[in-house]
Amino acid sequence: MSDTKSADRNQAVLSQSIDPFDPKSLRLTQDFSTSVGVQKILNRVPVRKPGPQEFFRVHPSEDYRLDTAILELKEEREVYLVAPALRGEMFAEIKLVRIYTSINRQGVVALWPCKLSPPDGRTSSWHETALAAAELAMSKWVKIQADMSLGGYQAFVAAGDLPDPTWPGKTFHELLRIAFSGSYIDTPNHPALRRLRGEE
């Protein structure tokens, strides 16, 4: 009985010595979201090249990349996925790309369309260096910057020993659907094509 009273007394003393309003005890930890099981809802996936000051990784799985065709409207800064049936008639306008799944240090997932060499065999150092940077980013945190004297992109590896990214639990199919929802050209009367023809 005396042991119980002694334990209660010690607990009371300990409680009085801890200030419940001490900022150190109230501050959120960096892993708070993980510890309470909060999951980020992925409802937007931008289609873009990583920024020049942005360290990023590329998903290493072949299941998270795709060789396909896109249409870029540069003035509007819009990117459209083009249905296979329309690629022939749009050949002069489309770009052949390899779409990679990337993620930056803030956990923002994006689809990065890297241009591929055209069927006529002409090569571009811009395309080749971007593709090489994407391959490097599968295993290292990388940022890329345009180098006019090189005629391509310079890749820089992060100096620190940064942890691997946490990829969202979405399939590539789901990421494509989110990224190109409303930006898929599957008819000749699509508004983007009508603008190109000067009909709108």
Which pLDDT does position 115 carry in this prediction? 94
Kindly report which listed range (94-103, 116-125, 144-153) carries the lowest average pLDDT score: 116-125
Q: Band of the pLDDT at 90, cuts 50, 70, 90?
A: confident
Q: Mean pLDDT across the chain, nearest whole number?
A: 85
Phi, psi (rounded to 5 degrees) for 81: -85, 135
Q: Band of the pLDDT at 29, cuts 50, 70, 90?
A: low
Tokens of 13: 């003393």
Q: Band of the pLDDT at 20, cuts 50, 70, 90?
A: low
Q: Band of the pLDDT at 28, cuts 50, 70, 90?
A: low
Q: Band of the pLDDT at 100, cuts 50, 70, 90?
A: very high
User: How many angstroms separate the CA atoms of 200 and 194, rounded?
Assistant: 6
User: How many angstroms separate the CA atoms of 100 and 92, rounded?
Assistant: 23
pTM of structure: 0.77
Residue type, 117: S
Q: What is the mean pLDDT of residues 59-78?
A: 93
pLDDT at 42 over 80: no
Q: What is the mean pLDDT of residues 93-110?
A: 95
Handedness of CA 59, 62, 63, 64 (dihedral sign): positive
The pLDDT tens digits of the residues spanning 135-191 come to: 999 999 999 999 999 899 999 999 999 999 999 999 999 999 999 998 999 999 999
pLDDT at 118 over 50: yes
CA geometry: angle 57, 60, 64, nearest 5 deg: 100
The pLDDT tens digits of the residues spanning 45-55 come to: 999 999 999 99
